[in-house]
Structure 1
Amino acid sequence: MLYPKNFEDKIGFDKIRQQLAECCSGSLGRAFVQRMRFSERYDVVHKLQSQTEEFRKLLAAGEAFPEGNFLDVSESLQKAAIEGAFLSEEEFFDLRLSLGTLHKCLEIIAKKDDKEIPHLKELSGGLAIDKLLLSEIERVIDERGKVRDNASPELRDIRGSILREQASVRKKIEQILRSLKAEGIASDEAQLTVREGRIVIPLPVEYKRRIKGFVHDTSASGQTVFIEPAEVLEINNEIRELMAEERREIVRILTRLTTRLRPHVEDLKKGYFFLGLMDFIRAKARFAMHFKAIFPELHKKPMLQWIGARHPLLQQHLQEVGRNIVPLNIRLDDKNRILLISGPNAGGKSVCLKTTGLLQYMLQCGIPIPVEEGSRAGIFQHLFIDIGDEQSIDNDLSTYSSHLKNMKAFLQLADNQSLCLIDEFGTGTEPQFGGAIAEAILEQLNERKVYGVITTHYANLKFYAENTPGIINGAMRYNVEALEPLFELEIGKPGSSFALEIAQKIGLPRVVTQSARQKVGKDKIDIEKLLKDLEIEKQFYKEKNDLLQTEKQLLAKTQAEYNRLRDFIETNRKQLINEAKAEAKRIVQEANQKIENTIRQIREQQAEKESTKQLRQELETFSRQLQPEEIKTISKPANVEKSEIELDDSPIEVGDYIRLKGTETVGEVVAVKGKEASIVIGELKSTVKINRLEKISRKSYRQLMPEKAAPSSNVGIDLNEKMSHFSFDLDVRGKRAEEALTEVSQFIDDAIMLSHQHLRIVHGKGDGILRTLIRDHLRKYKEVLRLEDEHADRGGAGITLVTLR
């Protein structure tokens, strides 16, 4: 069941139907689009879903389905079924073209495996189309839609006679025209023409009696007449008789062909039903490919769990203007059946509601919907919607009365198989009573276990949803700093309307907004403030989480590179050790042999003093040759005292080696611009104030570098610690100006190095001296884009908000 009757127009389905019709190749498919209806049956929706998905896979695989000639020939088939009737040349020509398309579709499906496209196979399974029928039509009707000359021997002879007689007439009448031109009766520009199917000569009206013949026509000016000379009149009469005979033969041929067709009319009707269905299913498959739509996992019970849901019409519009749509994640299940969405005006609440209604309706019409893989959806028996202004002059209904009338229908008809969509719940009357009535209606809908998506601004409904099982709050997120909607749905918390902030942004006088704030009351303001603070914290932690994810990916990449290098070093270390062992073994063998030879020579020479001395010298020389070479190391002592670092007081220039003051971090200067320098520390490049650097000697740089390159890099640890412990807030209250400015400089430098944009400096109000000094100091940084006071509710002028470029 659908409520109201114009449900399709309410959700915009009429435009979806129009787009599907445009995807069809012919009137057969468009007729199916117009007959498409909402189904409450799981088996029907599942079958429609499977048919479309199978066709989409065929198109994605590049299957060459026919693109045209999906023609509706139902009237011709009805005519052919009548005994004694015959189809015209044009009707047989449409049959020839469309039958060719039908046979091509059947051939493509027939060659596929039953397991690959079972549902499309089922559609074509009961068809019995005589293939010889198309061959016989093609034998009679040519590619121009005319009966062929050889359709019968008689027709061939008749057309041959006509051609001969026409050639004779033309030859004779051309002779007459030449003689008339020679006599000056016809102008030199005169040409033969045709009137009433006969070849005639144009002559000036004053010469029409100069030749015998029949006047067939006169020009619009009356100055020219078109005469058929008497010499060819008889021949033309014969040609007319031949043409009549030709027409009778064509009728006989078409009657015979229609008689051949008549026994197959019922089979052909089924075939053309299949052809239209193929065009319709292909249109849905094309629609799916255009909008990147899919069929979610289908369930029999009411539910929906959509990931990345997109309104197709809104998506198309935004793409045309070069913008991207923000997808929605929506979930309704047994635990949370009703989603109550709140948030600012123009924040996307109504779009979310319409998206839910449109996609669910499309799904139960068998149309793929634009959601991401992993989405799930169920079947609802009833869909209800209350959106827009339905006031009626005829029925004396106001806007609020029309809403109440719809609510009455919802309460009477809705059950646990229903999906109710209500926009701006309870509005249109006095808020106190409107909110109370809306809460009572919501209570009844919840007791009936109705599923629904409801949008509202009423705080009492938000509290009711927070404390009532079966209902869950949802909020359309809002950028509270820029006062712009994000169009993101967040389920689990209520949203703020940001009415006062929006009023202030569009320029209402401050006295008006302050007065409104007082009239609303402290409790209301506190609730709105809490919601706003929650939104700020969520956005803050989202940015921090994104940064952590980036760092996590970088860490994983670095770890993989480290493991690769470690494996490489380990492999080469084993190889070097093996080579060294082999060399040592060779050396030992050679030494042993040398010693044995020496001993043997001493014995043979009977220990003569000079010979023995000489042999010992040779042995010592060989021993010295086996001593390992001295290995020069560049490693420095474990701890290098600060006194060992050689500092240079000269100005820092490109190519100099530097150290960050107060740290052991060293690097090289690659660029100098004003009071800032671009430095390289390992693989990290950064821009730092020159007054935070001190120039060191090349020797000191070399002493420190091995330690920096080691796996336990102090630079890496320092930067990681800065990232993990960096706070977006700096509190300098109670500190002396010089001390506060030093901390502010360090705070800003760290933020620039870590690429953070939004900072808060808490300095207090007091006399404003410290605030002025800090802001004047911050304006010297070209990286500072904007300085402004914090919101009055969160500290006002006692806090400076810093936005970096």
Structure 2
Amino acid sequence: MQFFDEQTIKDLEFNLIREQLSELCTSKTARKRMLELVPLQSENRCRQELYCAEELTQVKRKGETFPHIEFDELQAEIKLLKIKNSVIQQEGFVRIYRASMLVNDLIYFFNKREEDYPYLSHLLQIVHFTRDITNAIDKVFDKRGKVKDDASPELARIRQEIASVRNKINKNFDKEVRRLSKMGILSDTKEGFLSERRVLAIISSYKREIPGIVLGSSKTGGLTYIEPHINVPLNNELEMLIDDERKEIFRILKVLTAEISEHVELIENYQKVLVRFDFINAKARHALSLDANLPGFADDQRIELIDAYHPLLFQSNQAARMKTIPQSLEMDRFSRMLVISGPNAGGKSITLKTVGLLQVMFQSGLLIPVHPNSRMSFFQEVLTDIGDNQSIVNQLSTYSYRLKRMKHFLEVANKRTLLLLDEFGTGSDPELGGALAEVFFETLYNKKSFGVITTHYNNIKLKAAQLRNAVNGCMLFDTRTLEPLFQLSTGQPGSSFTFEVAQINGIPSELIEDAKSRLDDKKVQMDKMISALQKEKGQYERLNNESIKAEKEARQAKQKFEESKEKYQEKLRSQAELIEKNNKYLGLGKKMRSFIDRFKVGKNAKNINKPLLDEVVHYLAVEKTKILEIQEAERLKKEAELAAKTFRKPRKAKAKEQEIPLVIGSRVKIETNKEVGSVIEIGESEVLVAFGVMRVKVPRNRLVVVR
């Protein structure tokens, strides 16, 4: 940012946001970069940063299995890989191995997801999927990061000898312990471990009776630690073997370093990619903690915030389990100067800081706690004058500091500047300071700058009402209790409620009346008028909100009724069909029951039942015919519906007419119509035909050329 200074960071407490983000980083490089985060100079670069943060936030919100961004940086290993005959230690290879695995996991995750996450996928273009690095390291190291026994034949031989010698040492030692235990010259602990050797814990009075090397004694001198004589040459051999092992491991690591050095450029890119993802991951985690979103990008210069929260206030209230009231406001070239007035402790400064901090975060590539339908644009400068910045060192009073700051604003402000001026004009004589503040305000307005300004000065409020592209705003108060509602309302200035607040805080009414008598009548009347207007507006907004709520509830009730009605009617239809079906089956059942009642049993029943059986067969045949007729009717209906959807082929009788070539200007008619038209345009399957003033697209196979 061309005129972005540290004072703006301090005023808006953006440094606290940077510290929060830094703590969410894994790598030292990403943490350092986060602490140095400032709004970007390039709008395109800022968009890329925002899209990257948005994509990774969406990945996390969807709950996708994303690789865990945790790694050790590789600067030291990269430096060694570039030096000939250098050797990377075991821990370094473990770091390279984990980095390669993590990058491979990232590549695998974004494979076939390029369309969903194009910006994050693009970050991986400088790396590629490979097992060469991990396979080479796997040949040398086991899963615990230790060099394998079979890393080389020589190492395998050495370690076998080490195991053999240690086995002999332990056998000899255990034998000595058993022998000396019977003699009663060992302590209760029996043994110890000194200089990486097993030693006997001998009662000091018997130390001269034991052949071996004394390696130490207890603090009290009661015990003497002796290496058994029989193990001395074996321990010496063990030390030489361990030294051989160390040299062989060094040789193996040197060979592996040379092999891995062929991939040094890729490993350098591992470092870049992982730090980049660590940086973006911190942004995504921060966004999730704030329920932040990416606002839309406005084509013109504007700020349109919907349900915006001050991030630090939101976090503080969340920790205290308190509700945070969001703010909504809109500023464009027709309302680019917003003057907020009203009583102290009503939220003016918080609203101003919310706008400023969200703008700085947005231009630093961070998602912000607003409704996603919000829209924002990029400013060349964000400049602030907030709080008491007097300097004893530089012998500056608050007002002197503000004048110097204003001088800077007047020099650099333009149509792409966002100014945030808290308690504008204060610090000097109210009338003289107010007059100067009015001049400053008008000058900044003429520079076409954007600005959010808080003030108590009536002349600034009046000037904002007079200027075409400025607008007044106020923080709403409960007019009955005079408690702040922390909601911004634009369109009119706010009353300071000076006397009302004084009265509610117990100031005697006679003192308040005395104070009123000392003021200009017009000023008192104006404050009363503003106060009354604010009360009326508050009442109107309350009624409007109640009306909106009632309308919403009515729509929901209507929708619920319609859904219930539809479900009820569907249920009635189902029940009617079921009743009809059951009545049919009931009729069939009654008929069959009559057949059963008439059926005779006995010796002569066969001849008696023959007419009945013939009747039953006839009845069954009739009923079966009815069912088949219904099924056939349904089949014919489906065929008719299918035929209606397809076009009929031209009749053979008109084949001669169709043989005439179809060209632009041909006179044609639709096969089922007598009206003749002329061809305007011929497509592959459709032809545009003009019938008088009407133009119609007709399938070619439905047209007949008229001679």
What letter is aligned with 2:253? L
For the residue of structure 2 that corresponds to 1:125, the secondary structure is helix
- Cα offset, 1:285, TM superposition: 2.0
TM-score, normalisation: structure 1: 0.68
Q: Give the alignment of 1:551-700 within 5 angstroms.
A: 551-553=550-552, 555-556=554-555
Structure with more contact order per residue of length (Cα contacts < 8 Å, sep ≥ 6): 2
Name the structure 1 match of 2:146. 146
Name the structure 1 match of 2:45. 44
Name the structure 1 match of 2:177. 177
Q: C-alpha separation between the residues in 1 aligned to 2:564 and 2:217?
A: 101
Q: C-alpha separation between the residues in 2 aligned to 1:118 and 1:572?
A: 49
Name the structure 2 match of 1:126. 126
- Cα offset, 1:283, TM superposition: 2.1
Q: C-alpha separation between the residues in 2 aligned to 1:359 and 1:564?
A: 43
What letter is aligned with 1:398? S
Query: Structure 2 vs 1, CA of residues 415 and 220 (structure 1 numbering), >3 Å: closer, same or farther?
Result: farther
1:151–1:253 CA contact under 8 A, matched in 2: yes
1:300–1:379 CA contact under 8 A, matched in 2: no
For the residue of structure 1 that corresponds to 2:126, the secondary structure is coil
Q: C-alpha separation between the residues in 1 aligned to 2:553 and 2:541?
A: 18
What letter is aligned with 2:97? R
Q: C-alpha separation between the residues in 2 aligned to 1:61 and 1:206?
A: 75
- Cα offset, 1:56, TM superposition: 2.2
Kindly provide the CA deviation profile for residues 677-708 of structure 1, in whole angstroms up to 9, marking residues without a partner as x: xxxxxxxxxxxxxxxxxxxxxxxxxxxxxxxx
- Cα offset, 1:86, TM superposition: 0.5
- Cα offset, 1:557, TM superposition: 6.0
What letter is aligned with 2:76? E
For the residue of structure 1 that corresponds to 2:336, the secondary structure is strand
Name the structure 2 match of 1:683. none
For the residue of structure 2 that corresponds to 1:194, the secondary structure is strand
What letter is aligned with 1:511? E
For the residue of structure 2 that corresponds to 1:420, the secondary structure is strand
Name the structure 2 match of 1:277. 276
Name the structure 2 match of 1:66. 67
Name the structure 1 match of 2:444. 445
Name the structure 2 match of 1:236. 235
Query: Structure 2 vs 1, CA of residues 545 and 165 (structure 1 numbering), >3 Å: closer, same or farther?
Result: same
Name the structure 1 match of 2:54. 53
TM-score, normalisation: structure 2: 0.77
Kindly provide the CA deviation profile for residues 480-533 of structure 1, in whole angstroms up to 9, marking residues without a partner as x: 211111110111111111121112222223332222122223222222222222
Q: C-alpha separation between the residues in 2 aligned to 1:433 and 1:289?
A: 48
2:69–2:277 CA contact under 8 A, matched in 1: no
Are 2:376 and 1:395 aligned?
A: no
Name the structure 2 match of 1:345. 344
Q: Give the alignment of 1:15-164 within 5 angstroms.
A: 15-27=16-28, 29-112=30-113, 114-128=114-128, 130-164=130-164
Kindly provide the CA deviation profile for residues 135-156 of structure 1, in whole angstroms up to 9, marking residues without a partner as x: 1112212222211111111111
For the residue of structure 2 that corresponds to 1:339, the secondary structure is strand
More moved, 305-314 vs 242-251: 305-314
Kindly provide the CA deviation profile for residues 622-653 of structure 1, in whole angstroms up to 9, marking residues without a partner as x: xxxxxxxxxxxxxxxxxxxxxxxxxxxxxxxx
Query: Structure 2 vs 1, CA of residues 536 and 124 (structure 1 numbering), >3 Å: closer, same or farther?
Result: same
- Cα offset, 1:98, TM superposition: 2.2
Query: Structure 2 vs 1, CA of residues 300 and 557 (structure 1 numbering), >3 Å: closer, same or farther?
Result: closer
- Cα offset, 1:288, TM superposition: 2.1
1:32–1:276 CA contact under 8 A, matched in 2: no
Q: C-alpha separation between the residues in 1 aligned to 2:565 and 2:139?
A: 79
1:341–1:454 CA contact under 8 A, matched in 2: yes
1:462–1:494 CA contact under 8 A, matched in 2: yes
- Cα offset, 1:358, TM superposition: 0.8
For the residue of structure 2 that corresponds to 1:192, the secondary structure is strand
2:198–2:227 CA contact under 8 A, matched in 1: yes
Structure 2: unaligned runs, 5 residues or longer: 573-707
Are 2:414 and 1:415 aligned?
A: yes
2:434–2:459 CA contact under 8 A, matched in 1: yes
2:471–2:490 CA contact under 8 A, matched in 1: yes
Name the structure 2 match of 1:227. 226
1:38–1:364 CA contact under 8 A, matched in 2: yes
1:301–1:380 CA contact under 8 A, matched in 2: no
1:391–1:402 CA contact under 8 A, matched in 2: yes
What letter is aligned with 2:154? E
For the residue of structure 2 that corresponds to 1:383, the secondary structure is strand
1:147–1:250 CA contact under 8 A, matched in 2: yes
What letter is aligned with 2:249? I
- Cα offset, 1:556, TM superposition: 4.5
- Cα offset, 1:198, TM superposition: 1.2
Kindly provide the CA deviation profile for residues 541-570 of structure 1, in whole angstroms up to 9, marking residues without a partner as x: 233223333443455567668889999999
Name the structure 2 match of 1:216. 215
Name the structure 2 match of 1:306. 305
- Cα offset, 1:13, TM superposition: 1.4
Q: C-alpha separation between the residues in 1 aligned to 2:560 and 2:315?
A: 44
Kindly provide the CA deviation profile for residues 324-360 of structure 1, in whole angstroms up to 9, marking residues without a partner as x: 1111112221112111111111111111111111111
Q: C-alpha separation between the residues in 1 aligned to 2:567 and 2:120?
A: 57
Query: Structure 2 vs 1, CA of residues 61 and 150 (structure 1 numbering), >3 Å: closer, same or farther?
Result: same
1:129–1:271 CA contact under 8 A, matched in 2: no
Percent identical pairs in the alignment equals 35
More moved, 280-289 vs 407-416: 280-289
1:204–1:223 CA contact under 8 A, matched in 2: yes
1:213–1:230 CA contact under 8 A, matched in 2: yes
1:314–1:325 CA contact under 8 A, matched in 2: yes
What letter is aligned with 1:344? P
Name the structure 2 match of 1:544. 543
Query: Structure 2 vs 1, CA of residues 194 and 556 (structure 1 numbering), >3 Å: closer, same or farther?
Result: closer
What letter is aligned with 1:98? A
- Cα offset, 1:42, TM superposition: 1.8
Query: Structure 2 vs 1, CA of residues 60 and 158 (structure 1 numbering), >3 Å: closer, same or farther?
Result: same
What letter is aligned with 2:105? K
2:362–2:368 CA contact under 8 A, matched in 1: yes
Name the structure 2 match of 1:332. 331
Structure 1: unaligned runs, 5 residues or longer: 574-805
Q: Give the alignment of 1:695-706 within 5 angstroms.
A: none
Kindly provide the CA deviation profile for residues 88-119 of structure 1, in whole angstroms up to 9, marking residues without a partner as x: 1111112222221111111111232x322222
Q: C-alpha separation between the residues in 2 aligned to 1:149 and 1:570?
A: 79
Are 2:436 and 1:431 aligned?
A: no
Are 2:377 and 1:375 aligned?
A: no
Query: Structure 2 vs 1, CA of residues 560 and 107 (structure 1 numbering), >3 Å: closer, same or farther?
Result: closer
Q: C-alpha separation between the residues in 2 aligned to 1:16 and 1:555?
A: 43
1:422–1:454 CA contact under 8 A, matched in 2: yes
For the residue of structure 2 that corresponds to 1:209, the secondary structure is helix
1:476–1:488 CA contact under 8 A, matched in 2: yes
Are 2:517 and 1:483 aligned?
A: no
Q: Give the alignment of 1:709-724 within 5 angstroms.
A: none
Q: C-alpha separation between the residues in 2 aligned to 1:564 and 1:196?
A: 85
What letter is aligned with 1:280? F
What letter is aligned with 2:400? S
Q: C-alpha separation between the residues in 1 aligned to 2:145 and 2:284?
A: 33
For the residue of structure 2 that corresponds to 1:203, the secondary structure is strand
Q: C-alpha separation between the residues in 2 aligned to 1:270 and 1:34?
A: 23
Aligned residues: 572
Query: Structure 2 vs 1, CA of residues 567 and 507 (structure 1 numbering), >3 Å: closer, same or farther?
Result: closer
Q: C-alpha separation between the residues in 1 aligned to 2:561 and 2:162?
A: 94
What letter is aligned with 1:62? G
